[in-house]
Each structure stands twice: as structure tokens, then as C-alpha cells.
Chain A
Amino acid sequence: MLRDSRRVLRPGGRTAFYTIHPVAGLTPAQRRRAARSGAPAVATARTYEDLLAAAGFTQISRTDCTDGFAATAQAWLSEWDASFAALAALYGEQTVAERQRKRRIQLRAIRDGLLARSLFTATRP
């Protein structure tokens, strides 16, 4: 995806994206837990800085926003719990319960220091 982003950008064009990723320096076991607790994309062992450089981007920067991630993840969980019945009527009780279960796992991984969320920016030379 990053390579094709670079291709469709004009020279001097920029990419900016928020993404969930494992915290740097985890043990292999922690990394596996981070991958299970987050999105499939976090399974990669390489950092986004490396991936962006390999895709041909320059001026790569990262801004950590994990604190906000934890707060937003907690807010989704709390608000969905508070409106469980209304959401279950829309999506089905099992679907809502499963989504909340995954949110709890993800929130624990954030609080245990395994998952982070960052804003990455980079330029197509």
C-alpha cells in the first residue's frame, strides 16, 4: 500500500496517516500478543519508518498519539456498553458483544504498553 501511495503521489507530494502499531523493542511473545490485540497490519516486524523508507519516501517523521488512542478506545468501549441494547437491536447481540470483547483486549494491550498509535508523515522525493 505504501509503494502504491508513493507511485500515485507527484514529486514533492506528501503522505500522512494514523496507524496502530506494536511499541518498539517488544519481545517476540509480546509482539505476538500485540498483533493478536490490534489490527492485522501490526503483525509486521518492521517499523513504519523502515517501511516508508523501503517504499521510497523521504522526510519521514512520527508523532506518538498513544495517550489519545487509549482515551478514544476507552470511550468507544464505554459508550457502546452504555447503549448496548440499542446497538444490539441494530447489529445483533452477538456482533456487539464480540466487538466489545475485542475492544477490551485491545485496551488492555494499550495499557500494558504493547500497542501504540502514531501519525506518520513522509514526502515523495
Chain B
Amino acid sequence: MTSSEAKAAELFTERYRIGPTDVTRRIERTVIGADWGANGYTTLAQAGKLGAELGLGPGVRLLDLGAGQGWPGVYLALTTGCQVILADVPTGGLRSAAARARLEGVAARAVPVSASARRLPFAGGTFDGVAHTDVLC
């Protein structure tokens, strides 16, 4: 892991420590238009655009780098039917993402993996699409 990745991991570990709450969900609905654990700038419409650009649909394999608490990776699995690997360094965010995936009934298609985006633990040619949103590394 690089020093910038380590700094980002530390920042987001603290940020994800609490997990989603009523007040953060309410703010997120106002700011982003949905409450999937977003803390960046990707709105609901922009998440949809990402899915369209990547041609996501059933059977399509997506890698979401810096997946955070599951926005927009888990949302895209639910709305497009794609399979998504949620990769990130802070595990607290991934736990929230996995919980939301279970809640939405997409846990079999939305799988968290603790990994650095610079050295991905996947074989070449594994994915049809790679997405990330405001990743700090």
C-alpha cells in the first residue's frame, strides 16, 4: 500500500466507524438522492449513467474500486442485475456494504473484497467493467 492509500484508508476507517445512521441517511437522500452510504459527489442520476456507460446487466462482471459502504456498487447490482466485486481497503465500509447487499437480496451478486486498487488480487481479464467514484489514491 502506498502512503497516500494508507492515509486515505485511515481517513475512511474513521469515517465508516459509525456506519449509516438516521441523520446521515436523511442528509444523503437530500444531497445525493438516495441513501446507500455515499460520501462523495456521485448523484443518483450519475450512478445510473455509470451503469449505462459500462453496459451493466445480468451476467456482466463489474469491479467497483474504493467501494466504500456500497455506493454505487451495491445499488448497481440491484438495479442492473450485474455481478459486482466491491474492493476497498477499509473493512468497516465493506461490512456496511455487505449488510446492505443482504438487505436488498443481492449478497450472492455483490461480494466485498479487502484489496488495494494498485495491486488487485484478480487474474487478468476477469472483469467486463471497472468503476470508481472520487477515489483517493
Please report A residues at the B interface, Cβ cutoff 8 Å. 1, 4-5, 7-11, 13-20, 39-41, 65, 68-69, 72-73, 75-76, 79-80, 83, 86-87, 90-91, 95, 117, 119, 121
Cβ contact within 8 Å between B133 and A17: yes
Q: How far is the CA of A119 from the CA of B133 in the complex (A)?
A: 9
- Out of B7, B24, B130, name the residue touching A8 (CB < 8 Å): B130
Q: How far is the CA of A43 from the CA of B14 in the complex (A)?
A: 24
Cβ contact within 8 Å between B50 and A16: yes
Cβ contact within 8 Å between B120 and A72: no
Cβ contact within 8 Å between A79 and B31: yes
25 A-B residue pairings within 8 Å (CB atoms):
A5-B63, A5-B65, A8-B63, A9-B125, A9-B130, A13-B129, A15-B129, A16-B50, A16-B130, A18-B42, A18-B50, A18-B133, A19-B132, A19-B135, A20-B134, A40-B137, A41-B4, A41-B135, A41-B136, A41-B137, A75-B30, A76-B31, A79-B27, A87-B24, A90-B21
Cβ contact within 8 Å between A15 and B42: no
Give chain B's interface residue range (CB within 8 Å of chain A): 35 or more
Distance (whole angstroms) from the CB of A7 to the closest CB of chain B: 5
Cβ contact within 8 Å between B41 and A73: yes
Cβ contact within 8 Å between A87 and B23: yes
Task: Given A14-B53, A17-B132, check contact A40 B4 (CB 8 Å).
Answer: yes
Q: How far is the CA of A97 from the CA of B57 in the complex (A)?
A: 41
Distance (whole angstroms) from the CB of B44 to the closest CB of chain A: 11
B119 cross-chain contacts in A, Cβ below 8 A? 4
Most buried by B among A5, A9, A16, A76: A16
Q: How far is the CA of A36 from the CA of B104 in the complex (A)?
A: 39
Cβ contact within 8 Å between A7 and B21: no
Q: A5-B63, A5-B117, A17-B135 are in contact. List 9 more A-B contacts (CB 8 A).
A: A9-B128, A9-B130, A13-B127, A13-B128, A17-B131, A68-B41, A79-B30, A79-B31, A90-B23
Residue of A with least CB distance to B115: A4
B49 cross-chain contacts in A, Cβ below 8 A? 119
Q: How far is the CA of A75 from the CA of B63 in the complex (A)?
A: 29
B50 cross-chain contacts in A, Cβ below 8 A? 16, 18, 119
B40 cross-chain contacts in A, Cβ below 8 A? 18
Q: How far is the CA of A18 from the CA of B24 in the complex (A)?
A: 22
A117 cross-chain contacts in B, Cβ below 8 A? 41, 134
- Out of A13, A17, A18, name the residue touching B41 (CB < 8 Å): A18
